[in-house]
Amino acid sequence: MKLYDCTSAPNTRRVRMFMAEKGIVIPRVEIDIAQGENLQSNFLSKNPRGVLPLLELDDGSYLDESVAICRYFEEIQPEPALMGHDAKSKAKIESCQRHIEFDALLPLADVLRNSVPHFKERALAGTSGVIAIDALVERGITSYHRFLERLNKNLEDQPYVAGKTFSIADITALCALDFAKWAKLKTPEHHTHTLRWYAHVSARSSASA
């Protein structure tokens, strides 16, 4: 197997953290999104969507989308379980995952792609010729702050994002909070539950993957 990666991107980091928690080590190929390497023909021949991460399997086929790639690793190496043990925990983790993606990662991506000069004509992932829209920056910031409020409330009476055990939802939330730093979006000091959780999860060895 081989992972096509971009070290600075949150979605690729999600996969690297997941692999580190599982103890899975495979070759990685760095693709520079900021410089548009994901839009070059040699990468598009592997993934016409032009997005990362991308997993090349031993049979020569490819999987994109970070959660799908993590699901593949979960199936071939079930322990430690990071996507739930039973119907309820699996559904809860998936629900938390979607909340973070829609309420934090996607809005933060809007902030990035509509404010950074590198992306002024690449405002949608995997595309060129899509012009940035200034108004999406403020909307993205508003959505992210709403997410932070809900996250702090969620962590008030449980140690991890989806309950009592560490899961892929914690990986996704950590990547979102760290991704927000480039835009100088900080977790408010009164969000004590989130800050407690952040310090704990950031100390895991996988966080440096």
Residue-wise pLDDT for 130-177, tens only, equals: 888 988 999 999 999 999 999 999 999 999 999 999 999 999 999 999
As assigned by CATH, the class of the 2-76 domain is alpha beta
Q: How far apart are CA 108 and CA 28, in angstroms?
A: 25
Q: How far apart are CA 89 and CA 70, in angstroms?
A: 16
pLDDT reading at 123 higher than 80: no
Cα separations in angstroms, 197 against 22, 106, 203 = 21, 22, 10
The number of beta carbons lying within 10 Å of the beta carbon of residue 121 is 12
Range scoring the smallest mean pLDDT among 40-49, 122-131, 133-142, 188-197: 122-131
Q: Which residues contact 186 (CB under 8 A, 6 or more apart)?
A: 180
Query: 180-201 in b/e burial notation, b at 16+ Cβ within 10 A?
Result: beebebebeeebebbbebbeeb
Average pLDDT for residues 68-90, to the nearest whole number? 97
Cα separations in angstroms, 108 against 21, 96, 183 = 25, 17, 9
87-208, what's its fold?
Answer: Glutathione S-transferase Yfyf (Class Pi); Chain A, domain 2 (1.20.1050)
Q: Mean pLDDT, the chain, as a whole number? A: 95
Give the domain ranges of the chain. Answer: 2-76, 87-208
Site of tokens 């914690």: 170
Q: How far apart are CA 120 and CA 122, in angstroms?
A: 6
First to last CA, the chain: 18
pLDDT reading at 124 higher than 80: no
Q: Omega into 188 within 30° of 0, i.e. cis? A: no
pTM here? 0.94
